[in-house]
Chain A
Amino acid sequence: MTHKFTTLAAALLASTCATAAFAQDSNVTVVLAEELDLVDPCMTSRSNIGRVLQQNVSETVTELVPGTGIQPRLATAWEDRGDGTWRFTLREGVTFHDGSTFDAEDVAHSIARIKTDAIVCEIGAKFFGGMELTTEVVDATTIDITTDPAQPILPLLMSTVTVVPSETTMDAFLDTPIGTGPYTFDEYNVGQNITLSAYDGYWGETPAVTSATYVFRSDSAVRAAMVETGEADIAPSIALQDAVSEDMDFSYPNSETVYLRIDNGTAPLDDVRVRKAMNHAIDREAFVGTILADGTLLATGMTPPSTIGYNAELEPYSYDPDMARQLLEEAAADGVDTEAEITLVGRLNNFGNVLETMEAVTQMLQDVGLNVNLEMYEVAEWEGLYSKPFAEDRGPMMVQAMHDNASGDPVFSMFFKYASDGLQSGVTDPKLDQMIADATAATDDEREQLWSDAFAYIHEEIVADVLLFHMVGFTRVNERLDFAPSIKTNSELQLSQIKFAE
């Protein structure tokens, strides 16, 4: 217990002596909505962790740049050597913050670590599930990576792999991450702040921001006020009602797509006319600029327009309640029980005004004659209804969800959301399974075309779900900075890209 009392006393002292984190000079203060529970580089696919660590402290093998595609980072070149093997040439002259030299052994160790059973690394679970990864170090700056099954998009997948030194433990999460990035991880005062400072030995350009402090406030109004008073410089994820400053608030597509997943296997939702009727029943445009932000796009696919294969020719379903009623009448005439109660499951606190949005959607569906009953759930219960295995006696069900894909490729979405074995798929369609498999295996223009075809098939032919909106996010930026948020701001915030206004 002596240790506990020491902890208590130390915390007491620290809480009274800590210094203020006011924005000043070339230090930048970022106020985040959520505190970091872990600071391990293998968890940077969680947006709150990625915003602090990714490309600031820990760099990835390759880098996905919005609008440009896959770019070199710690790897300078890569080539497909066939049979699922890719060769990556690594950057020379790179050192870790502990002074050790970066080489191929570090990449091999980082890949092994994200797949270890001793800890559950989110990057491994999210991007490398269901595949075997083997590495072969050719020399200090060359590594062969083989995947089974073969991954034609391995260079893209490597944009998620953060590199740690080969001495990093495999058995526990890190509390002081060491990377090759432009900033060192200096200190984490749990509950208060995280500080980073510029790394003198960085291989790239010297950044304008010399240090950064991250603080955490869960209330959007407080975050907005902090930037206004100068206590903070950047506040991502500002709520619509708080984004009232033309000079400081930036809106941008945040890579999130809101949709209603339809359980295609249960009557009456197994009838395509009922699913079409649902799509025609919802007046999507009525939400934009009212309870959702201006700039919100109407969705025709699961991924935002920035992803490859996005099918720009698809039109959102028109708001046509008469058409919806007619489709339901036709289905009823063929013996479909269109009056059966349908449960619409919503997720509380999923995005700003989610409750109002779902109530309006429910009302619109009811107005055309559907017997829809809205139930809103807290995230854990909601997830149990969203992901497989589904309950046998669930009855006809739709689940509202918001899906994030900032990666630029639909592969991270389509299998999970639409394949027969996909964890959150409401569809069982062998043709679609084949389309997804073909697109996943293809490259270049063919890949783009196949994804585009799959989007059209889902939206026009099987009408798998009710696609609603590509969402917009707001970030408040202090006028002393020259920085414009982008779609990547949802998952990372590169301090080295921030300049100071003249």
Chain B
Amino acid sequence: MRAFLGKRALASLISLLGLIILVFFLSRLTGDPTSLYLPLDASLEARENFREINGLNDPLLVQFGRYMADLAVLDFGDSIRRSEPALDVVLRAFVWTLQLAAITMTLVTVAAIVIGSLAAFHVGGLFDRIATFFSLIGASAPDFWIAIVAIVTISLNVAFIPTSGTGTVWHWILPVGVLFIRPFGLILQVVRSSMITTLGAAYVKTARAKGVKNKSVIFVHALRNALLPVITVIGDQAAALLNGAVVVETIFGFPGVGKLMIDSILQRDFTVVLAAIFVTAIAIFVMNLIIDILYAVLDPRIRY
């Protein structure tokens, strides 16, 4: 296991380095941020001064060398936009994203596994049809539309549910609810499909023939084997949320890392873009590692 972890860490480090180099040079292709930070009628002297202060006058390779040297001691530089360390800006936002992703994926996982398993037990039955119908709608509906409709229909009519923002537990209801819908629909479909296959396996039929109760057949015998593909999809969906739920964060005023990344790209705040990519990449690496370990826990045949 230790060798496996070492290999994964090394592979991730190489990927991360490649990603940083790629993003560093690609972001510079998007142009000089000076005109975005200064008024349109700023003098040429003011523009020159801004470039000098922010190190934008140096050749690109010199800027890159300086950046990598600082990165080696985990110094990501200061945000041009906010005049504070870029890593502080990103970590502050990442906390919100992490909470949003953790709460949403916990609810999605529990709900999709329970409902998907029950739907698979009576394929074509009323419960299965209802679950399939709503999960397909959920998987297809765009986030921004659901978010606006939720505000207009719920917040304007239910006094204790705020339209947006942060502060109380009620502020989490709409963002989590909106984020819940799409991965729930998708994962429910995967659970259902995987469970249908597993419930048809010989060992499940044997268990049934021996008179094992339905609840045990589904949640003890079949579910564990059906979960491997489900975990892969859960990991995929969680990774998407860790990258930031841009639409939901924007509409509900959630100060997460997705909105921060988009704003930073538009503002050419290069240090924040790179720090955000670094932090989310590390988070996704850790999450993938957890998923690999879960595979081994669920299926004893898998060993690293």
Query: Chain A interface (Cβ within 8 Å of chain B)?
Result: 1, 4, 7-8, 11-12, 15-16, 18-22, 37-38, 45, 117-120, 122, 124-126, 129-130, 172-173, 175, 190-192, 215-219, 221-222, 225-226, 228-229, 231, 378-381, 383-384, 386-387, 412, 416, 423-424
Cross-chain pair count, CB within 8 angstroms: 148
Most chain A CB within 10 A, of B87, B94, B99, B253, is at: B253
The distance from the CB of A386 to the nearest CB of chain B, in whole angstroms, is 7
**Given A122-B38, A192-B255, A221 and B92 contact (CB-CB distance below 8 Å):** no
B82, closest chain A residue (CB): A37
Query: Chain B interface (Cβ within 8 Å of chain A)?
Result: 30-33, 35-43, 45-46, 49-50, 53, 74, 81-84, 87-89, 91-96, 99, 148, 151-152, 155-156, 159, 162-168, 171, 250-253, 255, 266-268
Q: Is the CB of A8 within 8 A of B95?
A: yes
Residue from A37, A222, A386 in contact with B164 in the complex, judged by beta carbons closer than 8 Å: A222
Chain B residues whose C-beta falls within 8 Å of the C-beta of A15 in the assembled complex: 95-96, 99, 166
Q: Is the CB of A219 within 8 A of B45?
A: no
**Given A38-B82, A120-B46, A225-B152, A4 and B87 contact (CB-CB distance below 8 Å):** yes
Complex Cα gap A122–B96 (Å): 32
Complex Cα gap A63–B113 (Å): 64
Q: Is the CB of B91 within 8 A of A4?
A: yes
Q: Is the CB of A423 within 8 A of B81?
A: no
Q: Is the CB of A20 within 8 A of B148?
A: no
Chain A residues whose C-beta falls within 8 Å of the C-beta of B255 in the assembled complex: 190-192
Q: Is the CB of B43 within 8 A of A12?
A: no
Q: Is the CB of A20 within 8 A of B167?
A: yes
Sorted nearest first, the 6 A-B pairs with minimum C-beta distance are A191-B255, A129-B43, A125-B46, A125-B42, A20-B167, A126-B39
Q: Is the CB of A380 within 8 A of B31?
A: yes
Residue from A37, A120, A222, A228 in contact with B253 in the complex, judged by beta carbons closer than 8 Å: A222
Most chain A CB within 10 A, of B46, B50, B87, is at: B46
Chain A residues whose C-beta falls within 8 Å of the C-beta of B148 in the assembled complex: 219, 221-222
Q: Is the CB of A423 within 8 A of B40?
A: yes
The distance from the CB of A9 to the nearest CB of chain B, in whole angstroms, is 9
Chain A residues whose C-beta falls within 8 Å of the C-beta of B32 in the assembled complex: 380
A116, closest chain B residue (CB): B49
Given A12-B95, A117-B49, A126-B41, 8 other A-B contacts at CB below 8 A? A7-B88, A7-B92, A11-B96, A120-B37, A129-B42, A222-B251, A225-B152, A380-B268
**Given A130-B43, A221-B151, A215 and B95 contact (CB-CB distance below 8 Å):** no
Complex Cα gap A301–B40 (Å): 19
Residue from A45, A120, A190, A222 in contact with B53 in the complex, judged by beta carbons closer than 8 Å: A120
Q: Is the CB of A119 within 8 A of B53?
A: yes
5 contacts between A and B (CB under 8 A): A1-B74, A124-B46, A129-B46, A218-B250, A229-B162
Q: Is the CB of B40 within 8 A of A424?
A: yes
Complex Cα gap A386–B39 (Å): 13
Q: Is the CB of A380 within 8 A of B91?
A: no
A216, closest chain B residue (CB): B253
Residue from B41, B94, B267 in contact with A424 in the complex, judged by beta carbons closer than 8 Å: B41
Complex Cα gap A384–B32 (Å): 9
Complex Cα gap A218–B82 (Å): 18
Chain B residues whose C-beta falls within 8 Å of the C-beta of A217 in the assembled complex: 164-165, 251, 253
Complex Cα gap A12–B94 (Å): 10
Chain A residues whose C-beta falls within 8 Å of the C-beta of B266 in the assembled complex: 378-379
The distance from the CB of B57 to the nearest CB of chain A, in whole angstroms, is 14
The distance from the CB of B51 to the nearest CB of chain A, in whole angstroms, is 10
Chain A residues whose C-beta falls within 8 Å of the C-beta of B268 in the assembled complex: 380
Chain B residues whose C-beta falls within 8 Å of the C-beta of A416 in the assembled complex: 40-41
Q: Is the CB of B253 within 8 A of A190?
A: no
Residue from A7, A38, A225, A380 in contact with B163 in the complex, judged by beta carbons closer than 8 Å: A225
The distance from the CB of A471 to the nearest CB of chain B, in whole angstroms, is 17
A118, closest chain B residue (CB): B53
**Given A11-B95, A38-B82, A216-B253, A387 and B40 contact (CB-CB distance below 8 Å):** yes
A228, closest chain B residue (CB): B156
Q: Is the CB of B171 within 8 A of A226?
A: no
Chain A residues whose C-beta falls within 8 Å of the C-beta of B155 in the assembled complex: 225, 229
The distance from the CB of A315 to the nearest CB of chain B, in whole angstroms, is 29
Complex Cα gap A379–B88 (Å): 27
Chain B residues whose C-beta falls within 8 Å of the C-beta of A380 in the assembled complex: 30-33, 35-36, 268
The distance from the CB of A118 to the nearest CB of chain B, in whole angstroms, is 8
Complex Cα gap A117–B47 (Å): 11
Residue from B30, B92, B159 in contact with A190 in the complex, judged by beta carbons closer than 8 Å: B92
**Given A21-B165, A120-B46, A424-B40, A11 and B35 contact (CB-CB distance below 8 Å):** no
**Given A15-B95, A37-B81, A231-B165, A222 and B31 contact (CB-CB distance below 8 Å):** no
Q: Is the CB of B45 within 8 A of A129?
A: yes
Q: Is the CB of A125 within 8 A of B74?
A: no
A13, closest chain B residue (CB): B95
A226, closest chain B residue (CB): B163
Q: Is the CB of A215 within 8 A of B253?
A: yes
**Given A11-B92, A120-B49, A217-B253, A126 and B42 contact (CB-CB distance below 8 Å):** yes
Complex Cα gap A379–B33 (Å): 11
Q: Is the CB of A229 within 8 A of B163?
A: yes
Chain A residues whose C-beta falls within 8 Å of the C-beta of B164 in the assembled complex: 217, 222, 226, 231
The distance from the CB of B148 to the nearest CB of chain A, in whole angstroms, is 6
The distance from the CB of B151 to the nearest CB of chain A, in whole angstroms, is 5
Chain B residues whose C-beta falls within 8 Å of the C-beta of A37 in the assembled complex: 81-82, 267
